[in-house]
Chains A and B, each alone.
Chain A
Amino acid sequence: MLDTVVIPLLKIAVLVNAVLVAVTFLVLMERKVIAWAQSRLGPMRVGPYGILQALADPIKLILKEDITPVKADRYVFTLAPIMSLVPALVVFAVVPFGPDPLYYIGDINVGLLFIISVTSIGVYGIILGGWASNSKYPLLASLRASAQLISYEIAVTMTLVSVILTTGTLSLVGIVEAQRESGIWFGFIQPVALVLVFIGGLAETNRAPFDLPEAETELTGGFHTEYSGMRFALFFLAEYANMIVISAVVVLIFFGGWLRPFPNIAWLGFLDLLPAWIWFVGKVFLFLYVFIWIRATLPRYRYDQLMSLGWKVLIPVAIGNLVVTGVFKVVF
C-alpha cells in the first residue's frame, strides 16, 4: 500500500508543484533575459531585483475577471485550457531526475513513445480553444496550430527513431544508462538529430520563431485572444511546462540526463559530489535559456516559410539521418 499508492502520490504532488513553481520563475527569467538582451532592466519593482514578480503575476491572473464570450461554445471553451495543461504535466510521470527509483514516478519501457504521444494530445487545447471562442482570429490560429504541429511532429518522431536505433531502448532511464556505458553523450554522436529535435521542439511548443498560432501582429494574440484570467493562465502554464518537457527530453536523450559532464574521464569524478538531479535540472535550465535567447534574437517565420521548412527541409533531413544511422549501425 505504502509503496504502490502513498509514495507515488506524494511524488506526483511534489513534482506537479515543483513544475508549476518552476514555470512562474521561468516567466520571470524570460522577462529578465529578454530585457537584458534589449538593454533594459526588466521587472525591478516587486522585491529585490523583481524576484517576487514571479508570485505577483499568478496572483494577478487568479484575481482577474473570468469572461466567457456569449457566442462561445461554453463546455469546449472551459475544457480547452485544461486539455492543454494536463498532458504537459502527465509527461513528467516518465521523466527521470536521477538514476534512483526515488527520482522518477515510473520508468516504463515505452517511455520516449509515451512522451511523444502524450504531447501530441496537448494540441487539442490550442485547436479547441481557438474554435470554441467563436471568433475569427482564434479560429485562424487553431488552423495554423494543427497544421504546424502535425508537420513538425512527423520530423521529430522520425528523428527520434534514429536516436532509438543508437540506444536500442525506449526507456528514458535506459537511454541515459546507455550514454553512461558508452561514455559519451549522444548529442556528440547524433548532432543532426539534436538540431532537428530542438527545432521541432520550438515549433511544437509554439515558441518564437515558430509562434505563428499566437502571432500578436497578425492575430491579436491568436488562440487565446478571448481568454482571460485563470483560463488564460492555464494556457500560459501549459506553454511553459511544455518548454520544460522539451528541454528535459533533449537533455535526457542528447546530454546525458543526470550524468556529470565527461562521464568517461575518471579524474573529473569530483563533479559527482553534486547530486544527480542538480546536474539534470541545471542542464534543463540551460536549454530553457536557449529557448529564451532564440526568442530574443530571431524574428518570426512567415507561414509558408514555416511549412516549407518543415516539409521540405526537416523531414528529408530526418529521413536521411535515419538512413545514415542505419547504415552505420549495420557496418560498424
Chain B
Amino acid sequence: MAEALLFYTLAALILGLGVMVVSARSAVHSVLFLVVNFLLVAVLYVTLNAEFVAVIQVLVYAGGIVVLYLFVVMLVNLKQAPERFSDPRRLARSGLVLGGVVLALIVVVVSSSLRAGAAPEGTLSGFGTPFTSGNTEQLGWVLYTSYLIPFELASMLLLVAMVGAIVLAKRHLGE
C-alpha cells in the first residue's frame, strides 16, 4: 500500500512537472522544472532498488546534460517569442501527427499490458528493503557479458557523434 501510494504520488508529480516544462513561459524556468523532473525520476529508481541507475540518472541527466541545456538557453536570446518562425497551420498539422503517434503508443502499451495480465508479484517491492543490497556489480557484469555488443555499439555511436560535432565546428572556423 505504502509503495503504491509513493509510486502514484511520484508519477503524478513527474507528469505534472512534465506539463510545467512545456508550458513555462521562460525557457530557463522550463529547464529548472526539467531538473526537478529528472530528480524525481531518480527517486522512482531508488524505490525500485535500482540505486546505481538512480545515481547515474542524477549525474548524467540532472547534473550534466541539463547544465548544457542551461548553457545554450542562456546564450540564445529568447526574449521575443519565436512567432515569426512559426506557421500556425503547419504547427497544427505537426501537432496532430505527434498527438496521433503518442495516442497509438499509449494504446499499444496499455493493450499489451492488459493482455499480459496483472503485474507480477514483487514489481514494486523494492521499497523498504535496505539500500545497501547492491546491484552495481551485477549491472556491470551483465553489461560486459550478455550485452557487450550493444554496449560497444552505443559507445561507438557516441564517439562518432563527438567526432562529427568537432568536425562540423572546425569546418566553420577554418573557412
Considering only CB atoms, which chain A residue lies closest to B58 in the complex? Answer: A117
How does the 8 Å CB contact mask read for A168-187 relative to B, with 1 for contact and 0 for none?
00110000000000000000
Chain A: residues with Cβ within 8 Å of the partner, total of 31
Cβ-based interface call for A89 (8 A):
no
Query: Which of B28, B62, B74, B131 is the one whose CB lies under 8 Å from A121?
Result: B62
- Establish whether residues B51 and A109, one from each chain, have CB atoms under 8 Å apart when the complex forms: yes
Report the minimal beta-carbon distance from A135 to chain B, rounded to whole angstroms: 13
Within B24-75, which residues are at the interface with A (CB < 8 Å)? 26, 28-29, 32, 35, 39, 51-52, 55-56, 58-59, 62-64, 67-68, 70-71, 74-75
Chain B interface, DSSP helix/strand/loop, else mixed? helix
- Establish whether residues B132 and A109, one from each chain, have CB atoms under 8 Å apart when the complex forms: yes
Report the minimal beta-carbon distance from B139 to chain A, rounded to whole angstroms: 11
Cβ-based interface call for B134 (8 A):
yes
- Establish whether residues B51 and A121, one from each chain, have CB atoms under 8 Å apart when the complex forms: no
- Establish whether residues B55 and A117, one from each chain, have CB atoms under 8 Å apart when the complex forms: yes
- Establish whether residues A110 and B51, one from each chain, have CB atoms under 8 Å apart when the complex forms: yes
- Establish whether residues B136 and A109, one from each chain, have CB atoms under 8 Å apart when the complex forms: yes
- A109-B132, A110-B51, A143-B75 known; A127-B64 Cβ under 8 A: no
Considering only CB atoms, which chain B residue lies closest to A164 in the complex? Answer: B136
Report the minimal beta-carbon distance from A304 to chain B, rounded to whole angstroms: 15
Chain B: residues with Cβ within 8 Å of the partner, total of 26
For A118, what are the chain B residues with a Cβ–Cβ distance below 8 Å? 58
- Establish whether residues B131 and A106, one from each chain, have CB atoms under 8 Å apart when the complex forms: yes
For B132, what are the chain A residues with a Cβ–Cβ distance below 8 Å? 107-109, 171
For B59, what are the chain A residues with a Cβ–Cβ distance below 8 Å? 113, 116-117, 120, 157
- Establish whether residues A120 and B32, one from each chain, have CB atoms under 8 Å apart when the complex forms: no
- Establish whether residues B35 and A113, one from each chain, have CB atoms under 8 Å apart when the complex forms: no
For A258, what are the chain B residues with a Cβ–Cβ distance below 8 Å? none
- Establish whether residues A109 and B74, one from each chain, have CB atoms under 8 Å apart when the complex forms: no
For A113, what are the chain B residues with a Cβ–Cβ distance below 8 Å? 52, 55-56, 59
Nearest 6 CB-CB pairings of A with B: A120-B63, A117-B59, A117-B58, A109-B134, A113-B55, A146-B71
Q: What are 17 sample pairs from A and B whose C-beta atoms fall under 8 A apart?
A: A108-B51, A109-B136, A110-B136, A113-B56, A118-B58, A121-B58, A123-B63, A124-B70, A128-B70, A131-B28, A146-B67, A146-B68, A146-B70, A147-B71, A150-B64, A150-B67, A157-B59
Chain B interfacial positions (CB closer than 8 Å to A):
26, 28-29, 32, 35, 39, 51-52, 55-56, 58-59, 62-64, 67-68, 70-71, 74-75, 131-134, 136
